Structure 1
Amino acid sequence: MASSVDINEIFGVKDLVVVVTGGGSGLGLMMAQALEANGAIVYIIGRRKEALDRAASTAKHGNIRTIRGDITSKPDLEAAVAEIEAAHGYVNVVVANAGIGGPSLTDLPPQASLSDFRKHIWSWDAQHFNETFAVNVGGVFNTVAAFLGLLDAGNKRGNLKQRSQVIATSSIGAFNRSPLLGYAYGGSKAAVVHIFKQLSTSLGPYNIRANVIVPGFYPSEMTQGVIEQRNKTGWPKSVIPEERPGDEQDIAGAILFLVSQAGAYINGNVLVTDGGRLGVVPSTY
């Protein structure tokens, strides 16, 4: 019998159990909402109770569930695993989305002298610089490690045709050679891309896939100022060929593709969703 090509079967996410870190705002919230609206059970993990509660209140079916925790804390991650294990016994997808910015170049004057450039980067707080890597790399990696048992249980559960997977949210900052958001942010996001390529190889024998979403300009706390300014002045093709920032439908399409049967044959993939931004700036992609 021929396989079904019905769109609801191919792209359906009904009854998936998904974990999204940093799901209380920004891209994490958009992904959580898209998944839950289409039938998935979504656990969002974050540090801020108010943001988590607001996110849960937007659930279409009442299936955005909150867990307060810090991804840099192994005890917090273990507690989250225990809570989900008690409720379901397995997960199908973990989206390691939580991340922070770092010391940036946004306050550096245009065409700054070498002296000014040196003074600016030397003034950065070392703890802030290192914290960016602790969250964006260490926290993401530990999130994956914490949930491997439940991802394996998801495969054994057999509720889906596609195998379990981990997905990281990186950034085009990983590939952009003009580091407006700073070297710690771009470096940490580049590290995530490479680690997930390695994880796709390391986890393959255990039937767990690893993929990366690489967003460009999307609404978030980190990009709010830039997007508000550009919305006033416009988005020329020289900035983004699509002449706009990404929106909820754009990121929904990416996550629904990857976690559904449509993305079942995807492993070790780096999915850039940036409206063509990397094509018009110096980049290494």
Structure 2
Amino acid sequence: MHSTDYLGRLFGLEGRHAFVTGASRGLGLAFAEALAAAGARVTIGGRKADELKAAGDRLRAEGYAVAEAVIDVTDTQSVDAAIAASEAGTAPIDILVNNAGIQRRAPLETFSDADWDALMATNLDGVFKVSRAAAKGMIQRRKGVIINVSSVQSVLARPSIAPYAASKGAITMLTKSMAGEWGQHGVRVNAIAPGYFKTEMNAALVADEQFSGWLTGRTPMRRWGDVEELAGAAVFLASDAASFVTGQTLLVDGGITSVL
């Protein structure tokens, strides 16, 4: 047996269908590209059809098999319809990546109900709704992988983002609970918790010299993460290489959670 053949089978995703939410840009698009590069057919989901089309065209130009699905993860009817249409139009969903998320920043004592509700509806409720919809088919087929996107803020707090941290901390326990309930049906559920990455959501922080200086000094690897550095974690958790890994949160953070 050649080692390259063995590794190809272990990490390859040929013949599988991956559905990624919040995938028109940023981390979601990076996850989608990584799974496609490993051989999966990918459906990228998001609220804006024009942005999805642009992202899909970019991936198809690279030779990947990609479809788009307009989905609002906060709306049960939208979620159920998008999952059903994707499975009917492409293939049963083998891999789900719950990446859709938003951020709201304000001191906790002035944080509005509207911002709290919007953040939880996307970051937490959305993960539940999309997972519930996709898991039904996975349970019937007795196989499937769900990857939830958490954050370094699931274990570390910072001023002005307490609700975001709370939503991501909840994802850790939701991931464990899903793994505990669905493992008997052949469904694995894990989470990836990125540290600080250069994304559109973090553009203002990247441009802030004081914050970037603090961050790079605080991070053992002394830099921001690049979104491409999440590819390996996603492919690993989605593949047979992680066939006995479930209920875990994998921190990809340059070591920031390992030091004081």
Q: For residues 213 and 123 of structure 1, do their structure 2 counterparts lie closer, same or farther at Cα, with a shift above 3 Å needed?
A: same
5+ residue gaps, structure 1, are 105-119, 156-162
**Quick check: which has more Rg, 1 or 2?**
1
Secondary structure (helix, strand or coil) at the match of 2:200 reads coil
| Residue 192, structure 1, aligned to residue 192, structure 2 | no
| 1:120-153 deviation per Cα after TM superposition (whole angstroms, max 9, x unaligned) | 4433221111211111111111110011123235
Secondary structure (helix, strand or coil) at the match of 2:208 reads helix
| Residue 98, structure 1, aligned to residue 100, structure 2 | yes
Alignment match, 2:192: 213
Deviation, 1:209, is 1.1
Distance 1:135 1:262 in 2: 30
CA contact (8 A) 2:148 2:190 kept: yes
Deviation, 1:237, is 5.4
Residue type of the partner of 1:142?
Answer: K
CA contact (8 A) 2:102 2:122 kept: yes
Aligned residues: 258
- TM-score when scaled to structure 2? 0.90
Alignment match, 1:279: 258
| 1:179-237 deviation per Cα after TM superposition (whole angstroms, max 9, x unaligned) | 24511100000001111111110111221111010000112222112123359965775
CA contact (8 A) 1:85 1:150 kept: no
**5 Å matches for 1:242-261?**
242-261=221-240
- TM-score when scaled to structure 1? 0.83
* Higher share in helix: 2
Secondary structure (helix, strand or coil) at the match of 1:227 reads helix
Q: For residues 99 and 232 of structure 1, do their structure 2 counterparts lie closer, same or farther at Cα, with a shift above 3 Å needed?
A: closer
CA contact (8 A) 1:166 1:208 kept: yes
Distance 1:185 1:33 in 2: 26
| Residue 14, structure 1, aligned to residue 14, structure 2 | yes
222-231 or 67-76, larger mean C-alpha shift = 222-231
Alignment match, 1:150: 137
**CA-based RMSD:** 2.4
| Residue 169, structure 1, aligned to residue 169, structure 2 | no
Distance 2:215 2:138 in 1: 43
CA contact (8 A) 2:108 2:160 kept: no
CA contact (8 A) 1:89 1:150 kept: no
Alignment match, 1:58: 58
Identity across the alignment (%): 29
